[in-house]
Amino acid sequence: MDFLGIIQILDSALRLATPLLFACLAGLFSERAGIFDIGLEGKILASAFLSAAFAFYTGNVWLGLLAGIVASLMLSAIHGLASITFRGNQLISGVAINFLASGITVVVGEAWFGLGGRTPSLMGGARFAEITLPFADAIRGMPVIGPIYSDLLSGHSILVYFGLLCVPLTWWVLYRTRFGLRLRAVGENPAAVDTAGVSVVGLRYAAVMICGVLCGFAGAYLATALSAGFVKEMSAGRGFIALAALIFAKWRPWYALGATFLFGLLDAFGNRYQSLDLFGVDIPTQFMQALPYILTVVILAGFVGRAIPPRAGGKPYVKER
C-alpha cells in the first residue's frame, strides 16, 4: 500500500467514523449521567429517516437535520419517561426503542414514498455538500503535507468538522463546567447530588436529551452526507458499534475519538479489501467486521485494561422510601 492508498483509507475512515463519533458522544452523556442507552441504534435510524424525508420535501438539508434531531429527541423522551420518570428497566426500554425505530421508519416510509422503505435520492441542496478547506488546492502539490491537508482533512461535509469539534466541547462541558461535574456525579452517586439540592431527574433528562440531539446528528449525517437518502435499516449496527467504542474509550471523550476512528478504520479496510493478507495469513473480511465487537468483549473482560462503567449506571434513582 503506497502513501496515497493510506491517505484514501484514512479519508474513508474519517467519513465512516463520524456517525460513530456522534453516537459515541451521545452515549457518553447519557451513561455518564447513569442512564444506559442501548437505543442509540434506534435513534440514529429514526433521525436518518426523518432527516432524509424532510430534506427531500423541503430541498433544504438544514431543515432535514432539524427534523432528524426532533425524531431522535422524541425517542429520547420515551427513554427518559421510561427510565427516569417511571423507573423502568433502561435496557428493556432501549431494546423497545430500537424495534420501534426499525418498524416505524419502514411503515411511514412506505406510506409516504412507496419505495419499500427507502426515501427518494437526495440531490443538490438536500444533501450536505463537501467543504474545501482554504488553500487546499494551492498546497495539493506539496509532498506529504499536500495530500494530508487537501485529500484527508479537506473535502468533508460540515458535520465531519462539527463532529470533531464536539470532542473538545464534550470534554470541556464534562470536566470544566458545573453542569458537567453534576452530570458525572449523578452517574456515580445520585443521592449525593440530591442531597446537595440539585435535581437528579432534571440532570438525567438533560443528559438524555443531549444524547438525543447528538444521535440526531449521527443519523442526519448518515442519510444526508454519507449517502444520498434513507434506506431500510441503514444504521446497520452503528449504534452498537458506538456503544462498543464507548466502552473501549472507557467513557472518556478523547478516547472516544480514538476508538471511533479505529472502528471507522476497520470499516474502511473491510470495504476496500475483500480479504486481507497479513504476514502470510489470509484474514477474511468478516473477521474485520467482527473485530470491533471482539475487541469490546476483550476490553469488557478486563484482560486489557479494565473498563469500569459509571457506578449508578442503569439504576433508577428512588428519592425516598
Partner 1 sequence: MTDSVMPKWADVALVPFINLALALFVSGIVVALIGKDPFEALYILVNGSVGSAYGWGYTLFYTTNFIFTGLGVAVAFHARLFNIGGEGQAALGGLGVALVLLYVPWPHWTIAMLAASVGAAFFGAAWAAIPAYLQATRGSHIVITTIMFNFIASALMVYLLSRVLLVPGAGGSPETARFAEAVHLPSAYEIAPWLGFSRSTPLNVSFFLAIAACIFVWLLIWRTRLGYEIRAFGHSEPAALYAGISPTRITMVSMLLSGGLIGLMAVNAVMGEAERLVIDPVQGAGFVGIAVALMGRSHPVGVFLAALLFGALYQGGGELTFEVNGMTREIILVIQALVILFTGALDNMVRSPIENLFATTRRRPASPEPTTPLEPGGHPERGKAEP
- Choosing from 70, 74, 104, 201, the residue that interacts with partner 1 (CB under 8 A) is 104
Of 6, 107, 165, 191, the one binding partner 1 by CB under 8 A: 107
How near is the Cβ of 304 to partner 1 at its closest, in Å?
12
- Select from 3, 86, 172, 175 the one that contacts partner 1 (CB under 8 A): 86
As measured in angstroms, the least distance from the Cβ of 114 to partner 1 is: 6
Cell numbers 469500569 correspond to 308
Residue 235 CB, nearest distance to partner 1 (Å)? 13
Contact with partner 1 (CB under 8 A): which of 63, 74, 77, 100? 100
The identity of residue 41, as a single letter, is: E
Residues 241-300 that bind partner 1 (CB under 8 A): 243-244, 247, 284, 286-287, 289-290, 293-294, 296-297, 300
Q: Which of 5, 87, 175, 202 binds partner 1 (CB under 8 A)?
A: 87
* CB contact set of 59 (below 8 Å; sequence gap of 6+): 124, 125, 126
Cβ at position 179, least distance to partner 1 in Å: 27
What are the distances in angstroms from CA 16 to CA 67, 221, 254? 22, 10, 18
- How many angstroms separate the CA atoms of 254 and 25, rounded? 10
Minimum distance from residue 142 beta carbon to partner 1 (Å): 41
Q: How far apart are CA 265 and CA 248, in angstroms?
A: 15
- Judged by CB under 8 A, the stretch of 2-10, 12-20, 101-109, 183-191 that binds partner 1 is 101-109
Distant-in-sequence, close-in-space partners of 208: CB < 8 Å, separation ≥ 6:
30, 33, 35, 37, 76, 77, 79, 80, 83, 84
Closest approach of Cβ 138 to partner 1, in Å? 44
d(CA 103, CA 93): 15
> What amino acid occupies position 264?
G
Query: Taking CB under 8 A as the rule, does residue 198 contact partner 1?
Result: no
* Least distance CB 320 / partner 1 (angstroms): 6
* Residue 47, C-beta contacts closer than 8 angstroms, at least 6 positions apart: 68, 69, 71, 72, 215, 216, 217, 218, 219, 220, 223
Q: Does 176 bind partner 1 (CB under 8 A)?
A: no
Q: Which of 15, 319, 297, 294 has its CA nearest to residue 153?
A: 15
DSSP state of 124: G
Q: Total residues at the site for partner 1 (CB under 8 A)? A: 53
* Contact set for partner 1, span 123-162 (CB under 8 A): none
Q: Which residues bind partner 1 (CB under 8 A)?
A: 38, 78, 81-83, 86-93, 95-100, 102-104, 106-108, 110-112, 114, 116-117, 237, 240, 243-244, 247, 284, 286-287, 289-290, 293-294, 296-297, 300-302, 309, 318-321
